[in-house]
Amino acid sequence: MNLCGYYRESINEGLGIRSVIFISGCRHRCKGCFNPESWNFELGEPFDERKQLEIINDIKHNPLVDGITFCGGDPFFSASELIPFVQQFRRECSTKNVWAYSGFTYEEIMADEKMHELLTLCDVLVDGRFEEKQKDLTLAFRGSRNQRIIDVTKSLAKEHIELVVC
């Protein structure tokens, strides 16, 4: 798994101030994607244990950061490799929340064992492929009208999708 970008502080990828991790690799290839370079799974640097600890320590010692956001590429293509990092992040930064963006829908993620496991570690999922024909720059935290901002915790507990209102 490679890391193709890291923003220490951002307000564009979720509520509050967020640290944003861009995971390399995506096979969705959405027309009009804002980050097509990230489709390459080899882009960037290895997201190895050293880099993971560096990022966790950075976030842990930044009182301004509300949480972490995973973007890409699509982090759910690397679910198996990402799960241990998110588990460690949850242990060490227990007061911070986790958002993730994916071109997969919630339903597609729920149907895959490893992606589902990663989803259970997230608080919020922005799901669905970017659709250029539904592009809407007025939407909060997403690029096209088909994408949903899902409260994962509530959705899993209630066994139906609960949206976050932004």
The per-residue pLDDT for range 5-19, each reduced to its tens digit, is 999 999 999 999 999
Please state, in angstroms and rounded to a whole number, the distance separating the CA atoms of residues 147 and 24. Answer: 21
Helix (H) / strand (E) element for 22: namely strand 18-23
33 token code pair: 């994607």
Q: Quick one: what percent of the chain has pLDDT higher than 70? A: 100
* pLDDT value of residue 34: 87
* pLDDT value of residue 166: 83
pLDDT tens for residues 37-94? 999 999 999 999 999 999 999 999 999 999 999 999 999 999 999 999 999 999 999 9
Please state, in angstroms and rounded to a whole number, the distance separating the CA atoms of residues 93 and 86. Answer: 10
pLDDT tens for residues 110-158? 999 999 999 999 999 999 999 999 999 999 999 999 999 999 999 999 9
- In the CATH scheme, what architecture does the domain 2-158 have? Alpha-Beta Barrel (3.20)
Please tell me whether the overall predicted TM-score, pTM, comes out greater than 0.95 for this model. Answer: yes
* C-alpha pair distances (Å), 15 with each of 5, 69, 155: 20, 10, 18
Please state, in angstroms and rounded to a whole number, the distance separating the CA atoms of residues 70 and 115. Answer: 13
**Domain range summary for the chain, segments of one domain joined by +:** 2-158
Which residues touch 94 (CB under 8 Å, ≥6 apart)?
Answer: none
Contact call for residues 66 and 96 (beta carbons, < 8 A): yes
